[in-house]
A and B are shown apart, each in its own frame.
Chain A
Amino acid sequence: MNHVIGISEMKVSNKPGDALVTYSLGSCVGVTLYDPIAGVGALLHSMLPLSKIDRRKAEARPFMFVDTGVTQMLQTVFDLGAQRSRLIVKVAGCASLLDDKKLFKIGERNYTVLRKILWKNNILITAEDVGGTISRTMHLYMADGRTTIKSGGNEKVLA
């Protein structure tokens, strides 16, 4: 079954027939986690780097923010039996406008905060497709953990 993850959402699965997908990652960040032994995977689509901008919103919608979103996502996959040492982490998005003066840094900040949180959790990013000015669609196929990125009609496997 195909599960669509909207902006500020996260979904988890342990069914081999599932595919998780999120459309149009602009400056937002998309993160997939996959543990091949436990057969657990998840996809997160976060919009903004830090929850301190609006704590109340973060309580209602933790996945809107990278800091609260990733933390809760990790907890969710661990609860389903995934192990830190086996996690395959893939990242996409964090694009920006043509912005020489760096007026809007949301994409860059999303990426920085994500790296920091994963670092604190002793988790490394396996593969990523971030930055630039493109909009991306990200898939995670639960059957084998394959993660693909689609942009402007081109699709590639993220490995």
Chain B
Amino acid sequence: MSLREVIISTTRRVPAIPTAAARVSTLLQNRDVKISTLSRAIEHDPALAANVLRMANSVYFSGPRTVGSIKEAIMRLGTSRVSGLTLASAIAPLAGVAIKGYDLKPGDLWQHSVSAAVCVDQLIETLALEAPDYTFTAALLHDIGKIVLGTFVDVDAALIMELAFKEGVSFEEAEMRVLGISHPEVGAILLESWNLPKFVVDAVRWHQQPDEYEGDTEQMIIDLVHAADALSMVGGIGTGSDGLNYRVSKLVAERLGLNNAIAETVVLKMISGLEEVKELFGEDWGR
């Protein structure tokens, strides 16, 4: 078995997400899902529902008004946003641990995930784009492959680091060359096994190679996740030993209408947004 095959089979053995979250992922496939159906699916798991409500009540999502129930949260924030928060709540324990290989402390990957999701919101708003709401979910999950690949990166760290930092190869390309697979691809395989919609899987799979994507998912979603990931790294939020060693696509910047001045505005709004979303982090934000 090649190393690539070993990694893929390891990915398939990652524990499934809670049933309620999996049910929500399936419902997310249908964009016209009924509010009552979605709220029942979330309320099926009271702990999950409580967590979703806690997040929905952060200033960032609902302002000063309190949201009392899942149904109200869906009406106020929309189905996509609440589905995103449900998935966030389900993956938080997985993304909250220390990750070897990338030298991530507990909470780092989680902060990076949330900052990319908040950044996507700010990019959409600042650039006045008409992007689907689930882009938030795709940004939130973009680096989830690191939870599996970290162990393998750790074993071959010297070789990967050499390629990345001495030869100027982007980190995911170095993973590809040494391990036969990169963390975006591992992430896509993981999300597929959790039954996430194809457009989320595609955005995660191609977020580091946005210009190579050929498929049905809207290019804008992939571009937004690419740019949001880039600006979260610029902000240094939850970055590890891979640092900022990723290529930024000029074509994405052109397609989105993004330049350095706009990037500074978006980074500013991202940092401010993260301060309003502290409920997602507990006490550890910025630490």
Contact B236 A24 (CB under 8 A): yes
23 pairs across A/B with beta carbons < 8 Å? A7-B236, A23-B287, A24-B108, A24-B236, A24-B237, A26-B233, A26-B244, A49-B264, A57-B268, A93-B236, A95-B243, A96-B244, A97-B245, A99-B248, A101-B248, A104-B263, A106-B260, A106-B264, A106-B267, A132-B165, A133-B244, A135-B244, A152-B243
Distance, CA A23 to CA B258, complexed state (A): 28
Q: Are the CB atoms of A26 and B264 closer together than 8 Å? A: no
Q: Are A27 and B265 in contact (CB under 8 A)?
A: no
Counted as pairs of residues, one from A and one from B, with CB atoms less than 8 Å apart, the total is 124
**Per-residue B-contact encoding for A39-79, CB less than 8 Å = 1, 0 else:** 00000000111000110010000001000000000000000
Tell me whether B161 is interfacial, beta carbon within 8 Å: yes
Confirm or deny: B7 has a beta carbon within 8 angstroms of a beta carbon on chain A: no
CA distance A7 to B235 in the complex (A): 9
A14 within 8 A of B: no
Q: A97-B234, A105-B260, A106-B234 are in contact. Are A48 and B268 (CB under 8 A)?
A: yes
A93–B236 alpha-carbon span in the complex (Å): 9
- In the complex, whether A103 has a CB less than 8 A from a CB of chain B is yes
B10 at the A interface (CB under 8 A): no
Q: How large is the interface on B (under 10, 10 to 19, 20 to 34, 35 or more residues)?
A: 35 or more
Q: Please tell me if B36 contacts chain A, counting CB pairs below 8 Å.
A: no
Q: A134 within 8 Å of B by Cβ? A: yes
Scan A80-106; emit 1 where CB is below 8 A from any B CB, else 0: 000000000000010111110111111
A121 shortest CB reach to chain B, Å: 24
Given B103, B245, B258, which contacts A133 in the complex, CB threshold below 8 Å? B245
Contacts of B287 in A (CB 8 A): 4, 6, 23
B260 lies within 8 A of A104 (CB): yes
In Å, the complex CA distance between A96 and B246 comes to 9
Return the contact of A134 from the options B234, B245, B253 (Cβ within 8 A).
B245
Are A97 and B233 in contact, with the CB atoms below 8 A? yes
Please give, as numbers and ranges, the residues of chain B lying within 8 Å of A99 by CB-CB distance. Answer: 247-248
Q: What 0/1 readout, one digit per residue, does chain B (226-246) give for beta carbons within 8 Å of chain A?
A: 000011011111111101111
Q: Is residue B126 within 8 Å, beta carbon to beta carbon, of the partner chain?
A: no
Cβ-based interface call for B271 (8 A): yes
- Report the separation of the CA atoms of residues A95 and B230 in the bound assembly, to the nearest whole angstrom: 12
- Say how far A114's CB is from chain B's closest CB, in angstroms: 15
Q: Are A27 and B244 in contact (CB under 8 A)?
A: yes
State A153–B236 Cα separation when bound (angstroms): 16
Is B68 part of the binding interface, using a Cβ–Cβ cutoff of 8 Å? no
Which chain B residues lie closer than 8 Å to A126 at the CB level? Answer: none
Considering the chains assembled together, what is the distance between the CA atoms of A24 and B243 in angstroms? 9
Within 244-287 of B, Cβ neighbours of A (below 8 Å) are at 244-248, 250, 253, 258-260, 263-265, 267-268, 271-272, 285-287
B168 sits at the interface (CB 8 A): yes
Per-position binary interface string of chain A over residues 1-39, scored 1 when its CB falls under 8 Å from any chain B CB and 0 otherwise: 000101111000000000000011111100000000000
Of all A-B residue pairs in the complex, the 8 with the closest CB atoms, nearest first, are A26-B236, A6-B286, A152-B241, A135-B239, A133-B245, A24-B236, A134-B243, A135-B243
CA distance A133 to B247 in the complex (A): 10
Is the pair B286, A47 in contact by a Cβ cutoff of 8 Å? no
Residue in B245, B259, B263, B286 whose CB lies within 8 Å of A7: B286
Q: Does B89 belong to the interface (CB within 8 Å)?
A: no
Q: Is A107 an interface residue (CB 8 A)?
A: yes
A151 at the interface (CB under 8 A from B): yes
A104 touching B234 by the CB < 8 A rule? yes
Specify which chain B residues have a CB less than 8 angstroms from the CB of A25 in the assembled complex. Answer: 236
B250 interface neighbour in A6, A53, A101, A106, Cβ under 8 Å: A101
What is the CB-to-nearest-CB distance from B210 to chain A, in angstroms, rounded to a whole number?
Answer: 13
Contact of B137 with A by CB under 8 A: no
**Least CB distance, A159 to chain B, in whole angstroms:** 22
Cα separation A133 to B239 with both chains bound (whole Å): 11
Query: Quick check: B260 and A103 within 8 Å, CB to CB?
Result: yes
Q: Which residues of B contact A109 (CB under 8 A)?
A: 260
Using Cβ atoms and an 8 Å threshold, which residues of chain A touch B113?
Answer: none
